[in-house]
Structure 1
Amino acid sequence: MLGIQSVITLICYLFFILVSFWSIQAIPFYKFMGKYENQAKVLIVLLSVVIGYTVSTFFLNLITTIENLVFLVK
């Protein structure tokens, strides 16, 4: 069971990182950063990882909390 949970966690992390990367690309960082185009690309990747990890952790904790509500009823 623990192995399945690890796979689900990894898939969730990757999914939300990809979604955040896709959505952050709409922000024109290149206009703000001027001649620092390479740093803008790194900033996009780092922001994607931070946002994706945070959102994924939220949803995984939400699912765990909902699963633990069963113990309240018993």
Structure 2
Amino acid sequence: MNLLGIQALLTLICYFFFIFISFWAIQGIHLERLIRVNNPNQFKTLIVLLSIGLGYLSSSFFLELINNIRNLGYLLK
């Protein structure tokens, strides 16, 4: 049971880490030059939602990659 708690904690930390990294990366793109901004609050919400989506996708990719690498050991047994 303790292993499941550690895995859940690692998953949450990974999600938040990748969301932070994607938020930082999206801010460097300067999307306001590409998109006409009528309402700044809507634009900020868009950036937050894009960073959550991108962070979730990249975090899920790396978590699945780690899980698949860990499961390769069963192939060798």
Q: Give unpaired runs (5+ residues) of structure 2.
A: none
Q: 2:62 aligns with which of 46, 53, 59?
A: 59
Taking the aligned partners of 2:57 and 2:37, their CA distance within structure 1 comes to: 29
% identical equivalent positions: 54
Q: Give unpaired runs (5+ residues) of structure 1.
A: none
Helix, strand or coil: the match of 2:28? coil
TM-score by length of 2: 0.90
TM-score by length of 1: 0.94
Hey, what does 2:44 align to over in structure 1? 41
- Runs (4+) of structure 1 exceeding 2 A deviation are 27-31
Give the aligned CA root-mean-square deviation in angstroms.
1.0
Give the number of aligned pairs: 74
